[in-house]
């Protein structure tokens, strides 16, 4: 999901304006956008995280990366594997999109040699399947327009303050 700068002339103008600014003003814009967007992104993920696994894998690894041309919101892209072995970097799809709760049926033998049938739920520990996402994608749909607006507002305000000679 992303905002296409080509679709909005105002958004495009703001991005081109940043390229023409002094390096210190560019840095101020990036720092301000990140300082405001990062906590908001974390809050949006926390609001949607309904289980402890959601909080550890998705909401707990939320980051925002800001450059002169874009703002990237990320989750599940940092950290070590959890104590049970789940690696957030590679195993996040099961947490975000859930899993179909399949049944596995097979025959086995007891210690005394008697044969019997076993039926197990193979994905009971994961939430039900949701192809539109449960935590990250709904939060991104809400926050991307807000962060785009914040970026443009920060650019305009920083340029206006620079013209007036104000320092923040």
Measured CA to CA, the distance from residue 104 to residue 94 in angstroms comes to 18
- Partnered with residue 103 across adjacent β-strands are 121
Across residues 142-148, what is the average pLDDT?
Answer: 92
pLDDT > 70? residue 99: yes
Phi, psi of 66 (to 5 degrees): -120, 130
Map tokens 């999901």 to a residue.
1
pLDDT > 70? residue 67: yes
pLDDT at 9: 86
pLDDT band at 151 (very low <50, low <70, confident <90, very high): very high
Report percent pLDDT > 90 for the chain. 59
pLDDT at 70: 86
Task: Supply the pTM of this predicted model.
Answer: 0.82
Domain boundaries, the chain: 5-164
Across residues 25-40, what is the average pLDDT?
Answer: 94
Dump the DSSP string for 111-143: TTS-EEEEEEESSTTSPBP-TT-SSHHHHHHHH
pLDDT band at 82 (very low <50, low <70, confident <90, very high): confident
Locate 70 and state its tokens: 């874009």
pLDDT at 1: 65
Across residues 50-58, what is the average pLDDT?
Answer: 92
Across residues 44-66, what is the average pLDDT?
Answer: 93
């Amino acid at each position: 999901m992303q905002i296409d700068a080509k679709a909005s002339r105002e958004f495009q103008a703001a991005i081109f304006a940043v390229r023409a600014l002094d390096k210190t003003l560019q840095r101020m814009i990036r720092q301000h956008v990140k300082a405001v967007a990062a906590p908001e992104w974390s809050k949006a993920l926390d609001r949607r995280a309904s289980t402890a696994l959601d909080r550890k894998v998705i909401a707990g690894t939320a980051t925002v990366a800001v450059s002169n041309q874009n703002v990237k919101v990320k989750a599940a892209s940092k950290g070590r594997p959890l104590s049970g072995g789940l690696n957030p970097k590679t195993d996040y799809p099961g947490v975000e999109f859930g899993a179909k709760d399949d049944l596995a049926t097979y025959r086995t033998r007891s210690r005394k040699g008697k044969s019997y049938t076993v039926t197990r739920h193979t994905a009971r520990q994961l939430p039900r399947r949701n192809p539109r996402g449960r935590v990250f994608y709904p939060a991104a749909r809400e926050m991307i327009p807000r962060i785009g607006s914040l970026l443009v507002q920060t650019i305009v305000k920083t340029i206006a303050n620079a013209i007036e000679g104000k320092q923040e």
